[in-house]
Each structure stands twice: as C-alpha cells, then as structure tokens.
A and B are shown apart, each in its own frame.
Chain A
C-alpha cells in the first residue's frame, strides 16, 4: 500500500512497505535517529526517532506508514525527550569529545548539537569497559559504544560474517566479538567491511586515521551552516539596577586554563566589557579569593581534588549565577579519562615510574590536597545554573552569553558556536 502521510503538517508520499522513517528520509524530512540506517533492518533501540502518531508515541523506524497518518516529530516536547535520551547516552558511556577521534564526524555529537544539548544533567556512569586494540587496523573502544547494533547488523547483513554480538543485560550489556579469542584480532574483520565503517560514534575506529580531517572539514562541520540557531535553556536573571556594574569571578579547577585563553580571545571587546563588569577573584587579575557576593561565577575545569571542592563551594556560596564553562566542567573532560584507573596507579605513574623522575616518592605532605577517586563534573558537586560547552568555548560564545545576561536577553546560540570540542 502506498499513499501519503503528514509529518508536522507537511504531506509526503510513501511507497509500499516503507516505514515512517524511510518515507521521511526519502522526502528530505529529518527525524533525529542514531540506530537507523537505510541499508539495514531497523533495530528500534535508540528511541531518538520516537514520534507521535495520531497521539501515540512510537519509533518511526519500526512503524509502517499507513495512508493518512498524522505524525508529529519536530515538537518541543519530543525534542526535549530526544535531548534527554542523548544526554543519557552521553553519561552512560565515556563521550569526551575533545579526546575522541570521531569528534566532528560523530552522529551522537551531531544530534546533541541539533537538539541544543548544552549540559549533562545526569550523573556520569564512568564506563570502564574493555578496549580491544588487538586488530592491526581497527580499534574497538567499548566505552564509546551506544548499543545501536549497527555493526552487528552490518556484519551479519552486508558482510555475511556475523562478527559482533550483544551480550548481558541492563547495565551489564556489552558488545562482544564472535571469534575464538573473543577479540578482533582473529575475527576476520577487515577495514573495508561495512561493519568497520558503520559505527555512528567513535567505538569502532580505524587506526592511524584519527584527526585526519581538520576542523572545519569534518562531516558535520560543513553541515553546520544549514542549521539555525540553537535554543538554549533559560538564562538566569540578575537582580541589578540598570547601569550598575556586574561583578564576575572566574577560576580554573582541573582544567588547562584554555577556556580563560579563549575568553581573552574576545580581544579588544574586553575593554567594552570591563565598562559593564568588574572582575572579582580571577586568574586574570590574580586575586586569590572571592571578596564577597558576586553576580556571575565562571568555572572552568572538573573537580579532581579537595582544593577544587573548596574553591567550587566558595564560588557557589558567593555567586548568584554559576556558569560551568568548557568540557571539563561539563563532563570531567580529558582529566576524567583517568576515572577508571586506581589512584595508586596514577600516583605511581606520576611520581615513581614516570620518565625523568629524580628521587621518586609519592608526596604525602599535609599541605597537599587529597586526590579524589574520580574527576567529577562540577554539577555533581554543586548546583550549576548554566552551561557553556566547548573545548574551549569559542570567544564569540563567551561574548554572546555574557552580553545576553547583561542585557537581560534569552540567548540563542548560533549553531556553529555550540561545540563540545
């Protein structure tokens, strides 16, 4: 049966046997998805493509189109649910974009951009799944797997090899390899196989191919221009009299100060800004402690030791609006890559076994802060009012957000300023 369906008010045709997703794709109507791929049988597991059909919610990739169907897809409610699903996938695995080879070519990241995801509101699970580097040309980083099962399907349906398989259940779900050793080495997987090329994220990647495409030329860099602005969550309002200067404090916890550098990249506009704001504690003026109540606090970096906690709490206690700045504040970032390692191994690597260490010993001075078992994003330690992602966030993003707050506007970030890397 062929006919027509209506998606968000637009009537599109469908051919016999097509699903809602297939019809939409053919008609150039985008329904967000991760586990759907036109070449393979639908899986229906990511649930990003959930739409409302005649009032019922269902996956559009597994629902056959029926003549006259009325479908809602691009609604605020559905998009906010998709955003939450994206956030769930981000916290479930280790999706640290700045250190991921797939950044810029990653469908999960792109969906997050399109859906205006700026923060990970859920606690991070710190996946510590086994990485398989046994294959000469292909790497399997299970921490980045989102269980879309595309590799499973591609290997079975296109390659005729049936190399991948899902095991376990609930949080113990895992991607396994059908080979004698259980690793990719003797699996028969080849770089040209569909299964080696279908991963939407950075879980299955080719060795020696990472970061080849420069920023600006990656898959989703070019497509950015097609998107409008991204609606951000509501900015908190300051209670300030008009004309009154706004005080700002900044700090870097477990970060690299790169966000501060990027902030300074607003160049001469900093002069304009200083006419409207005054800086309290900040590395920019070397003031070491907050002097009293401050309007805006910008915090870069995650929380890796007890000193970070103290600083962060000082900011929270004194700042009316606390903004998490950059990838590390948002998800722990690069420092959080150590999270599945034991603290002793870290200390021994740094102070005993590392290269060029003179009189090796683990420091035990009482003055030193304790290292935390894991690096945490700052919203897991204090309440955060707003997130500005990026590694670092572009200077332009700092400028826009700050001037929006100063002017009391709600921000719409242009698509190319929202980035996780």
Chain B
C-alpha cells in the first residue's frame, strides 16, 4: 500500500480545517478535482482524520457522485428524471455514447470520459439536462450533443466550453408576494431584532406558514420548540437538498432570491438563539455554490452576517454551505443532519426530532429554502405579507414541468385548483398529473377540481403533467426504479421491498406480468407503508399502485387475464450453456 500523501486530499484537509465531520466535503472536493477518489486519497484522509479507511469507503459507496474508480477527464451525467426522459434524455445519452464510442455507465479505457445516468438534476423545465464534472448544462439537443462530443474528444477544458451553455435562467412564470416584492436586504432581520423573538413567532403563527418541504409542520412551532430548549448551542439548517424529481423552485430561489433565504435563516437564528446556520446544498446545484459563497461574503462585509449583526451587540450569526454528494434520502431532515456530520445519510430513529436533538446532538431548526424565504417577508411586513382571499393561508411555489406550453415556476395561493394551475401553464391535454413528485399523489384528468393545499394535494413543489400520449406504466416504472436506486438500505421492508417492486414492475412492463403479480405488489405495498423506517420506503410502491388504480388499462393491457406467468426465461437461462457447447464443439 502506498504511503505517499495525496496533495489533492491535503488541500481538502486544509480547506476543511482537518475536521473529521467534514470528511464528506473533502471527499466531494477530491472527486470534483480529479473525477475519482484514489486509494492514496483515502489513506491520506484516514490517517489525518484518524478514521478507519472502511468508514471513508462506506461514504464513497453510499453517495452516488463519489467513486473510487477513475471516471476520466469528463464525467457526464444525464438526468434520468421522468421529465428529462420525456424530453429525450435517454436518446441524447445514447447519442453521446455512440459519438464517443463508449458504453453508458462505463468509464472508457483511455481515461477520457464516463457517460452515465443520474437521478433528477432539478432542471426539469429546461431538460434534458446534464452535469459535466459537476456543472449543469440544460436544453441538451442533438446539435449540442454533437458539439459536446467534439469538445470532449479534443479535450477542451470545461472552462472553454461555450459560455451560454452554462447560463441557467429561472422561468418565473407567475409572481406572488415572494417573487415580486420590494423587501430590502436585511429588512426582516432589523424588524426581528426590533420586535423580539416572541413577536416573530406570534406573527409566523398568525400567517399560517407551514414547512414548504412537503411535511407541512407549522413553522412557528418548530422555531418555538427550538427556542425553548435549554442549551447554549443551537443550529439553523436550510434544506436545499431539492431532490424530489420534478422540483426546481429552490434552485430558482437560491439563484435569484438568495437574499430572502439568507435573511430568513438569520431571522431564525436571531429568534431561536442560534449563531450558526448551514445551507445543505445538493450536489447537483454546484453551479450555484460559488455565487452563493460570494453573496455570503458580501453580507459579512455589510454586517448582515458575522458578529454584532447590524451593530446589535451580542447578535451573532453566520452561514456556511455544506454540499450533498448524491443521495435523495438526505432530503429527510435527520438523514440530512447525518450527512452534514460526515456520515452516510441514514434517517435517524425519531423521536427525538432534530428540533431538540439535531446537528451534533444540538437543537436544530431544519427548514426548506422556500420556508425561510416566506418567513423573511412575514417577519419584515407582518402576516399580511402572505394573505390572500382564499381559505387556505399562504402561498406556494410550484415547479411545473412536463407536457404544458409554459413550464416553470408559479407562485400560487394555497387552495388554487388544479384546473386553474393547468390553465396558467397551458396544459390543455391532461391525462395525469403527478403532484408532489414520485413520493406524492398521481391524479387523473377527472380530478382537476382538487386543490393544491395541505389538506388535499400536498406538494413540496413538484408538479409534473402528462398528456394523453404518455404511457403511464412507463412513468410508474421510472419512479419505481428511482426509489430502489435511492433506498438507503437501512430497513428490511424498503431495502428488499424496493428491489422486489422493481422486479415486478419490470416483469409487467416486459409483458411477463400476471394477476398474481398485481396482488403481490398490493400486499408488499401494504407492508412497506406500514413497516418502513422513513417516508421513502413508505411511499416507494405508491406510484405503481396508484397507476393501477387510476390508469388500470396501462397495466391490464399488458397483463391480460393470466393468473400466473413466471419471470423465468428459459432462453436466457441456457444462453451460457449453449455458448459453452458451441465453443466445445468447435475446438
């Protein structure tokens, strides 16, 4: 074994102050620098951080974007989200593979390139999207793939690729109070300090703001519980691990409205008594990181962050960005905290919840990007900031993608009907809509009078429209594969269940399905829902079963009346034997 120190690893060690808890950040840094993490890097980290090499390898094995085998000079990931699919991502990926003479998912022998698929990259309204060496490029068409293949073959550094490829615009289609306001930077912080914690919490309560990440826990309560804990050290965490396929509104907020997000986090820190905040930013949003760092630095310069904020003695708060490394499950707040601590993202046993036992065991408020942004408006201008005429309080950002004329971000009052949303985005041929992503709810065209609200169709933002040309089984297949790929593997029902589910959905899609498979899926779904450790396993079988419930033909047409059909394929099972016999007969 080599004892040589890796200089890349050494750089990362310095950057992250040799803190063992930052090991995941270091690994990510190494990965981005050289597209793989070598044995020398692992050893250097292990020695310096006093960690067993196995624990470092365990992280590499857990996070999708970390690899211990070289991926070449260019690591190209095509988003495999259903919306990218619908826009031709697989065809484009195959096109690039052909142009470069490589196989999908396999590093080429020359050490030049790896073309692979990855889970949703959060560029759903402008797909198909790719990540090249961690940086996002959107709207990949045939022409762009041809050009990209040329650039890769000629080994043109990424920095010299056409600049316009890297410009990610936000399609802000409908603006409400959050996307269209005249809030001054720091206004909310000033008012929070002025009115005091109790009043901040009272105003949040009056506004009716609930967590925008999907769970819908009342924001004021979370802040109030955290504030009431008896400890000196508390934390504020902004969950920017926007991994639910079809969601991209947090991306836009961080890109264009980061001042609201930073203000909101600082307000939260001031209110609950935390002096440190983190943004857990998903790996796929690497392209946002630098500008966010710059803006944070600017805030420190104008005293919106740091010690004695805005001259108020003893009010200290700073924000650090922590990056994810490719794991959907880390969107769950306790898994996110595990990941922040440099561990595999396994959801913790709850209770206790992070609000009392969070980052490093300390009380931690974890809120979604959007929640912080709305809190900013509410605290600055009072609960009226989010008021509207409807029954459900507050507003919601929707990320609309799929089959409509104007995909993008829509700020709507909660309680808006699906019909109205469809009208806004120009969806006039609706077969189905997936509200809330693969883990959410699939509705058919008969349900357009239902509403986007916590009580009816709850969504963290994902809103994917399928027109009548779409095969709904293909959609369920994509979601089922997604859940299996993203299962953390901790508990039996999810680890084994997602794999069994995938096998059964594949079987049906391949024309080998039978009635018995449908019954089996229903039983398994029941078990996974009731016994899984977290929401991932609980929701993993929902897509296929909702598809069966609402679009039975998409499954019945393939299954027919056959009670039992084996997955067993005789021809495949004897292929190897036949080959051997042929070889032996020849020799």
Contacts of B568 in A (CB 8 A): 376, 380-381
Q: A374-B573, A380-B566 are in contact. Are A169 and B61 (CB under 8 A)?
A: yes
One of A47, A372, A382 near B491 (C-beta < 8 A):
A47
- Give the chain A neighbours of B62 by CB distance below 8 A: 167-169
Rounded to whole angstroms, the CA-CA distance of A55 and B488 in the bound complex is: 27
Interface residue? B58 (CB, 8 A): yes
Count residues on chain B whose CB falls below 8 Å from chain A CBs. Answer: 56
Q: Check if B570 sits within 8 Å of A170, measured CB to CB.
A: no
Residues of A within 8 A of B495 (CB): 92, 147, 170-171, 173
Q: Which has the most chain A C-beta neighbours within 10 Å: B1, B488, B516, B531?
A: B531
Among A121, A176, A364, A373, point to the contact of B576 (Cβ < 8 A). A373
The answer to whether B585 and A170 have CB atoms under 8 Å apart is no
User: Bound complex: CA of A176 vs CA of B1, how far in Å?
Assistant: 19
Q: Which of B49-57, B185-193, B283-291, B463-471 contacts A (4 or more CB under 8 A)?
A: B49-57
Whether B139 is near chain A, meaning CB under 8 Å from some CB there, is no
Whole-angstrom distance from the CB of B88 to the nearest CB of chain A?
Answer: 27
Complex CA distance for A364 and B575, rounded to whole angstroms: 14
Note all chain A residues with C-beta closer than 8 A to B530. Answer: 50, 57, 81
Q: Known contacts A123-B567, A167-B57, A180-B1; decide if A370 and B524 are in contact (CB<8 Å).
A: no
Q: Are B584 and A88 within 8 A (Cβ)?
A: no
Report chain B residues within 8 Å CB of A172.
61, 489
Cβ-defined contact, B490 with A45, below 8 A: yes
Inter-chain contact A85/B566, CB cutoff 8 Å = no
A46, B54: Cβ atoms under 8 Å? no
What residues of B have a CB within 8 angstroms of the CB of A47 in the complex?
491-493, 531-533
- Chain B 457-498 near chain A by CB (<8 Å), digits 1 or 0: 000000000000000000000000000111111111101111
- Confirm or deny: A292 has a beta carbon within 8 angstroms of a beta carbon on chain B: no
Check B496 against A89 for contact (C-beta < 8 Å).
yes
In the complex formed, the residue of A with least CB distance to B585 is: A364
Hey, which chain B residues are within 8 Å of A370, CB to CB?
Answer: 574, 577-578, 581
Chain B binder among A98-106, A212-220, A261-269, A340-348:
A340-348
* Contact call A169/B484, Cβ cutoff below 8 A: no
Decide yes or no whether A311 CB sits under 8 A from chain B. no
Q: Which residues of A contact B496 (CB under 8 A)?
A: 88-89, 91-92
The answer, yes or no, to whether A178 is at the interface (CB within 8 Å) is yes
A325 within 8 A of B: no
- Contact partner, B489, options A50, A147, A371, Cβ 8 Å: A147
* Residues from chain A with Cβ under 8 Å of B520 in the complex: 121
Q: Is A15 an interface residue (CB 8 A)?
A: no
Q: B527: CB under 8 A from chain A?
A: yes
Determine the distance from Cα of A408 to Cα of B415 in the docked complex, in whole angstroms: 59
32-52 of chain A: CB within 8 A of chain B: 42, 44-48, 50
Report which residue of B491, B496, B497 has the largest number of chain A beta carbons within 10 angstroms of its beta carbon: B496
Query: How far does the alpha carbon of A121 sit from the alpha carbon of B526 in the complex, in Å?
Result: 16
Residue B500 interfacial (CB < 8 Å): yes
The interface size of chain A toward B, counting residues with CB under 8 Å, comes to 59
Contact B61 A167 (CB under 8 A): yes
Q: From DSSP, what is the main secondary structure of chain B's interface residues?
A: helix
B54 touches A169 (CB 8 A): no
Q: How far is the CA of A416 from the CA of B188 in the complex (A)?
A: 72
With a cutoff of 8 Å between Cβ atoms, the chain B residues found around residue A343 in the complex are 576-577, 580
Return B486 CB to nearest CB of chain A, in Å. 7
Looking at the complex, which one of A165, A182, A361, A382 makes contact with B566 (CB distance below 8 Å)?
A382
For residue B498, which residue of chain A has the nearest CB? A170
Once A45-B533, A81-B530, A85-B527 are accepted as A-B contacts, the answer to whether A169 and B578 lie under 8 Å apart by CB is: no
> Which of A91, A177, A361, A374 is in CB contact (< 8 Å) with B54?
A177
Contact B489 A171 (CB under 8 A): yes
Contact, CB under 8 Å: A89 / B499: no
Q: Which chain B residue lies CB-closest to A56? A: B530
Complex contact B574–A306 (CB within 8 A)? yes
Would you list which residues of chain B between 200 and 231 have a CB under 8 Å from chain A? none
CB-contacts of A342-401 with B (<8 A): 342-344, 347, 361-362, 364, 370-374, 376, 380-383
Q: Does A280 lie at the interface of the complex (its beta carbon under 8 Å from any beta carbon of B)?
A: no
The complex places the Cα of A176 from the Cα of B55 at a distance, in Å, of 9
Contact B327 A169 (CB under 8 A): yes
| Chain A residues near B564 (CB-CB < 8 A) | 382-383
Residues of B within 8 A of A182 (CB): 53-54
A110 to B50: give the CA distance in the assembly, Å: 41
Complex CA–CA separation, A147 to B527 (angstroms): 19
In angstroms, Cα B62 to Cα A47, docked, is: 22
The 22 sampled A-B contact pairs (Cβ below 8 Å) are: A45-B491, A59-B533, A88-B492, A123-B500, A146-B492, A147-B489, A167-B54, A167-B57, A167-B58, A168-B62, A169-B62, A170-B484, A170-B488, A171-B484, A171-B489, A172-B61, A173-B495, A176-B58, A180-B53, A364-B585, A374-B573, A376-B573
A123-B567, A180-B53 given; 19 more Cβ-contact pairs under 8 Å? A46-B491, A47-B532, A50-B530, A84-B524, A166-B58, A167-B58, A167-B62, A168-B489, A169-B61, A170-B485, A178-B53, A306-B574, A343-B577, A347-B580, A362-B584, A371-B577, A380-B566, A381-B568, A383-B563
